Amino acid sequence: MKIDEFNNAIKSKITGAYELKEDSDSYGNSNAWVILENKRDVEVVAKAIKAYKGRCVVATAYKNEKENTHTVVYHFDINGTIVNMQLVTDNQSVHSITPILKSADWAEREMREMYDIEVLGHPCSDRLFLDYSLVKGVLNEYISLSKMQTGLSDTDVLWSKINKGAES
């Protein structure tokens, strides 16, 4: 699949501005990036992926330095070419593409529990992996709750037992 061909498929339908770039690794595998300004345009891209018989591989999110904003990256595959779609959300929500691409199902559910990013219109509201004893958005925090509360990590506790054993 040529990147220009894919661009033709999306350019007339996208509402906001977007950037298209391409990189490749030392083995010659190309990697396309679609960087969206308007996060609603995810649906346009997802439909184009579907039209090319592609699939959603996975999605990633990370917290930005700017307060309360997250960058979300979807990774798609069209017959061996990776297409990455990047967008920014400032209200911890995105519009689900699972109704268009079933293969995005788990990736979006995980985004919800790991980053507390709501996935609007996702067909399933259950948690996927994260136990209900844990609060949503665990990957937003850098320091674990127990360390925050007691100032001690499990490693600290175990090593103090070793040191006691060595003394006695």
List of residues contacting other proteins (CB under 8 A): 25-29, 31, 53, 55-58, 60, 62, 73, 75, 77, 79-82, 84, 102-103, 105-107, 114, 127-131, 133-134, 138-139, 141-142, 144-145, 147, 153-155, 158-159, 161-162, 164-166
CB of 139 to other proteins, least distance (A): 6
Residue 81 or 89 having the CB closest to other proteins: 81
CB of 143 to other proteins, least distance (A): 9
Dump the DSSP string for the chain.
--HHHHHHHHHTT--S-EEEEEEE-TT--EEEEEEESSGGGHHHHHHHHHHTT-EEEEEEEEE-SSTT-EEEEEEEEETTEEEEEEEEESSSEEE--TTT-GGGHHHHHHHHHHH--EEET-S--S-SSS-TTS-S-GGG-SS-HHHHHHS--HHHHHHHHHHHHHH-
Residue 120 or 166 having the CB closest to other proteins: 166
Residue 125 or 142 having the CB closest to other proteins: 142
Distance CA 45, CA 18 (A): 11
Residue 13 or 147 having the CB closest to other proteins: 147
CB of 27 to other proteins, least distance (A): 4
CB of 53 to other proteins, least distance (A): 7
Residue 58 or 88 having the CB closest to other proteins: 58
CA nearest 39: which of 71, 84, 85, 87?
87
CB of 15 to other proteins, least distance (A): 26
